[in-house]
Structure 1
Amino acid sequence: MMLDGGCYCGDVRYRMEGEPICVNGCHCRDCQTLSGAAFAVNAMIEADRVTLSKGGPVTDAFGTKCSRCGVLLWATHPMFGKDILFLRAGTLDEADRLTPDLHVFVRSKHPWIVLPEGVPAFDTLPGEGDSLFSPAQQARVAAAMQA
């Protein structure tokens, strides 16, 4: 899979190469506020699989964004470090090609959101013992974090 994306004003463009490790729907209050929506859809992927093709985004406390229009393109998470990105799927040109594999922070989900049956959902983040990742996904996370 190869998908291109970018910010609203077009100053920053990027390419995501390969399947995401997973795609999550995050219903936390931070993602709601940062996205201006009921939840954010994040494609978790190795940082070396995302390349800039135009522009120079800036990174601040919230993540990497376009300095002109302010659109958040991706962020990192303290549990995974700088080598794993949580790319905002809505910034992809073909965002509809990615659907969440799981939903997190559903305790703050808007009541009118109906989650699909069979898709794992967690009140907060998955806990120890939750089988969040397949062995192949676990291997990708481990390899990226050792890089």
Structure 2
Amino acid sequence: MSQPSHDHVQTAPHGTTNNNTTTFPLEGACACGNIRYALTAAPLVVHCCHCTSCRRETGTAFAVNAVVEGDLVSLLPGGATTLQQSITFPPSLLDTWTPRQARPRPVEDGPGSSDCLTDDTTTTASPILLPVPAESGAPQNIARCPVCLTPVWSNYDDCPLLKFLRVGTLDTPAALSEGQDLVHIFVRSKQSFFEIPDDGKLRFEGFYPQKQGVWGPEALVRRETLLARIAEWEKEKEKEKQQEKAIGG
């Protein structure tokens, strides 16, 4: 996907809805089930991206990405996979930022066990972050299952606070199809065989010039909170760089 402008909320509460009847969280997974995650609130916007990079990365006519705050996505304990990991990746590639959400399960021993819950995160796998070139020149870091290498989300500029979640990895991707702000971008490079439905969804030759009129009112408010968080994150990263430089010098 071509990198949008660097307009990258605090985590919205569980059980929230978008402007149809979808109830969150929604769950999703990679192809082999090793990586499972929960999307805990409605995305800011959904992009149908027709850029050359997205087509090449996905092997499809366009990519469908839900733009969400990074901590709206939580890793869940994964399922058993019949595949074996064929490549050993260095620990530095692991996505250690994305929060882990324990899935409560009943304690089997003792009276009233059905009412006793314990958290188990021992089977929660982490995706790996592999950089690929983007048309902007800045790398896009794609989070993939280390076993089947299915992409589940991505970020830009190494910033984990904004994720581009691959909608097709949701267990019920159709849950985002109604009542959610959806926009077609980079239609100038759209495949000629694909016709965008005349359904009233916005479309832009490149990336849209401003969020107003594209994102909904709630998403715009959330964006302001997110921008403040990103500014703090960038400040901390710069401080770390200066400290490393001082130590190295």
If the length of structure 2 is used for normalisation, what is the TM-score? 0.55
Aligned residue for 1:16? 39
C-alpha contact 1:84 1:141 (8 A) present in aligned 2: no
Give yes or no for the alignment of 1:72 onto 2:151.
yes
What whole-Å deviation, never above 9, does each CA across 1:67-126 have from its counterpart, x for those lacking one?
111111111245xx4311110000101112223711001111111222122111011101
More strand by share: 1
Question: What CA distance in whole angstroms lies between the structure 2 residues aligned with 1:77 and 1:120?
Answer: 24
Give yes or no for the alignment of 1:97 onto 2:189.
no
Question: What CA distance in whole angstroms lies between the structure 2 residues aligned with 1:123 and 1:130?
Answer: 17
Give yes or no for the alignment of 1:82 onto 2:164.
no
Q: Secondary structure at the match of 2:163?
A: strand
For the aligned residues, what is the CA RMSD? Answer: 1.7
Aligned counterpart in structure 1 of residue 50 of structure 2, from 23, 27, 49: 27
If the length of structure 1 is used for normalisation, what is the TM-score? 0.90
Q: Which runs of 5+ in 1 are unaligned?
A: none
Aligned residue for 1:141? 223
Question: What CA distance in whole angstroms lies between the structure 2 residues aligned with 1:3 and 1:91?
Answer: 11
Q: How far is the alpha carbon of 1:45 from its aligned partner?
A: 0.9
Q: How far is the alpha carbon of 1:129 from its aligned partner?
A: 7.7
Aligned residue for 2:71? 48
Kindly tell me: are residues 108 and 43 of structure 1, through their superposed partners in 2, closer, same or farther at Cα, counting changes over 3 Å?
A: same
Aligned residue for 2:120? none
Question: What CA distance in whole angstroms lies between the structure 2 residues aligned with 1:145 and 1:131?
Answer: 19
Alignment of 1:111-122 (within 5 A): 111-117=192-198, 118-122=200-204
C-alpha contact 2:29 2:171 (8 A) present in aligned 1: yes
Letter in 2 for 1:19: A
Q: How far is the alpha carbon of 1:145 from its aligned partner?
A: 2.9
Question: What CA distance in whole angstroms lies between the structure 2 residues aligned with 1:5 and 1:97?
Answer: 12
Letter in 1 for 2:48: G
C-alpha contact 2:50 2:184 (8 A) present in aligned 1: yes
Matched residues, percent identical? Answer: 32
Question: What CA distance in whole angstroms lies between the structure 2 residues aligned with 1:46 and 1:13?
Answer: 17
